[in-house]
Amino acid sequence: MCIQNGEWVIISKVKFHFQIRDRIIRSLHFRIILIILCVGILPGIGAYIGIIEAYESRAVSLRTAEIQNQCTILCDQLNSYNYLMDNSSDVINASLTQLTNIYNGRVMIVNKELTVIKDTYALDEGKMIVSENVVRCMKGERTNFYDKKNRYIEVTSPIMEAGADEIAGVMLASVSTDTIEDSLRIFHTKGREILWIISVLVLVFSIFTSYLIVRPLRKITDGIENISEGFQDEELHVDTYRETRQISEAFNKLLARLKTVDASREEFVSNVSHELKTPLASMKVLADSLLIQSGVPVELYQEFMEDIAKEIDRENDIINDLLTLVKMDKTAQNLNIAQVNINNMLELILKRLKPIAEKKNVEIVLESFRPVSAEIDEVKMTLAVSNLVENAVKYNHEGGYVHVSLNADHKFFYIRVADNGIGIPREDQDHIFERFYRVDKSHSREIGGTGLGLSIARNAVIVHRGSIKVYSSPGEGTTFSVRVPVIYVSA
């Protein structure tokens, strides 16, 4: 089916209309206004309807009682004048006419044979009347009836036979309720006016209230938009309500975190470039010094080339460490988890590192308190522990020791790597897990290393949902304590 241009215009207009409507309905402004309008106006409308209905029913019942009284009095008079036999009494006729005039109604006197013997409208005299109310009254039951639509009240009253206890006829009076309707109309007009005034006042109040409630939220949105346009130094402070203050505080925390992440990213990039440039600069100096000299002895060439090769190895180490870190970040979710014997794993690690330790005359001891098996990624965990043991050897004195211990409970296994080496000053302990951080920058070149080892170790432990802690006193030694769950729990 092909849609014509004109149809597209209509479709987009309808869409736009729905979008606008949706936005209005979903806005907090609209909802607050709606709630206040409902709460403010609905009870008013209810009260208005209730008052009008109560007034109407009260007015009708009062009027009915009044008419009924008048009819009873007249019926007694009719009785004493024997009006059913002779309806020529001027006194009675005058009373009937008066009743008709006062209440703007009509009175009919009906005898036992249901024949109208007197009609104040003089329309139905001599005619038969078969009305349910008349028949019921004839049987002794007074009736009254309100016809709201045609606006009249009809009342029947029995006429007793003179000197006897029997019903000889019925007085049927119907009176207009126009006066009640007039009062009701006035009530309606006034009521509607008052309702309109209340509605306008409530509407103004609701708009004002919704503006007051929504204003702080708008301030927050503006603030967030301002800040998200660039990391500006300003913070969000909307203290109007407790909730907006909490939002501001949470946002400021997030902002601080973003700033830290941003700063550490910048620092990382500058560190990486610096670290990568250092070996290159050394190689450049070495190569240049060979190039500018003529007739350089072969031994010097050899020595310089060895230095260049060392720098290439160093560059290679840095790149490898960086790659390991990046891989670790990326593969945090897809670990190669398997059931691993941790005792064996530690034995293998120490066996591999023993030659390095022997070279420095450092003794490595492994103490296993129990056999431990856990669900881990063996390669990553080996990397972490190797880094810790390597450090314990590297930052140790001649003749020092490294004590590795393994223990476990039903939830975690614990590896401790303790040494009696040079230790780490208190102020550096918070930073050693940062990338490229080294305590003794002046000697780091002699000792070697990139400052990425602990960062890699910590990442490896964290992806296992474990933790790593350091306890150290300068000059006395350092202990790294690793805690990892025995059963791997994925995120």
Q: Which residues bind ligand ATP (CB under 6 A)?
A: 321, 387, 391-392, 395, 419, 421-424, 432, 437-440, 449-455, 478
Q: Tell the smallest beta-carbon distance from residue 468 to ligand ATP (Å).
A: 12
> CA 215, CA 28: separation in Å to the nearest integer?
11
The option from Mg ion, ligand ATP, none interacting with 432 (CB < 5 to 8 A, set by class) reads ligand ATP
The option from Mg ion, ligand ATP, none interacting with 314 (CB < 5 to 8 A, set by class) reads none
> CA 67, CA 100: separation in Å to the nearest integer?
11
Q: Tell the smallest beta-carbon distance from residue 406 to ligand ATP (Å).
A: 18
> CA 107, CA 100: separation in Å to the nearest integer?
7
Q: Tell the smallest beta-carbon distance from residue 471 to ligand ATP (Å).
A: 11
Q: Name which of 56 and 275 has its Cβ closer to ligand ATP.
A: 275
Q: Name which of 114 and 470 has its Cβ closer to ligand ATP.
A: 470
Q: Name which of 244 and 382 has its Cβ closer to ligand ATP.
A: 382
Find the DSSP H helices in 139-241: 178-228
* Residues contributing to the site for Mg ion (CB under 5 A): 391, 453
The option from Mg ion, ligand ATP, none interacting with 451 (CB < 5 to 8 A, set by class) reads ligand ATP
The option from ligand ATP, Mg ion, none interacting with 288 (CB < 5 to 8 A, set by class) reads none
Q: Name which of 70 and 391 has its Cβ closer to Mg ion.
A: 391
Residue nearest to ligand ATP (CB): 453
* Strand pairing report for 477-485 and 467-473: antiparallel
The option from Mg ion, ligand ATP, none interacting with 238 (CB < 5 to 8 A, set by class) reads none
Q: Name which of 12 and 320 has its Cβ closer to ligand ATP.
A: 320
Q: Tell the smallest beta-carbon distance from residue 268 to ligand ATP (Å).
A: 14
The option from ligand ATP, Mg ion, none interacting with 438 (CB < 5 to 8 A, set by class) reads ligand ATP
The option from ligand ATP, Mg ion, none interacting with 450 (CB < 5 to 8 A, set by class) reads ligand ATP
Q: Tell the smallest beta-carbon distance from residue 474 to ligand ATP (Å).
A: 9
Q: Tell the smallest beta-carbon distance from residue 215 to Mg ion (Å).
A: 55
Q: Are 51 and 191 in contact (CB under 8 A)?
A: yes
Q: Tell the smallest beta-carbon distance from residue 431 to ligand ATP (Å).
A: 8
The option from ligand ATP, Mg ion, none interacting with 147 (CB < 5 to 8 A, set by class) reads none
The option from Mg ion, ligand ATP, none interacting with 452 (CB < 5 to 8 A, set by class) reads ligand ATP
Q: Name which of 248 and 391 has its Cβ closer to ligand ATP.
A: 391
Q: Name which of 180 and 322 has its Cβ closer to Mg ion.
A: 322
> CA 372, CA 368: separation in Å to the nearest integer?
9
Q: Name which of 392 and 460 has its Cβ closer to ligand ATP.
A: 392
The option from ligand ATP, Mg ion, none interacting with 478 (CB < 5 to 8 A, set by class) reads ligand ATP
Q: Tell the smallest beta-carbon distance from residue 433 to Mg ion (Å).
A: 11
Phi, psi of 374 (to 5 degrees): -145, 160
Q: Name which of 458 and 464 has its Cβ closer to ligand ATP.
A: 458
- Nearest CA to 122 out of 92, 96, 151 is that of 96
Q: Tell the smallest beta-carbon distance from residue 441 to ligand ATP (Å).
A: 9
Q: Name which of 133 and 387 has its Cβ closer to Mg ion.
A: 387
CA angle centred on 155, ends 49 and 67, rounded to 5°: 80
Q: Is 341 helix (H, G, I), strand (E, B) or coil?
A: strand
Q: Tell the smallest beta-carbon distance from residue 268 to Mg ion (Å).
A: 17
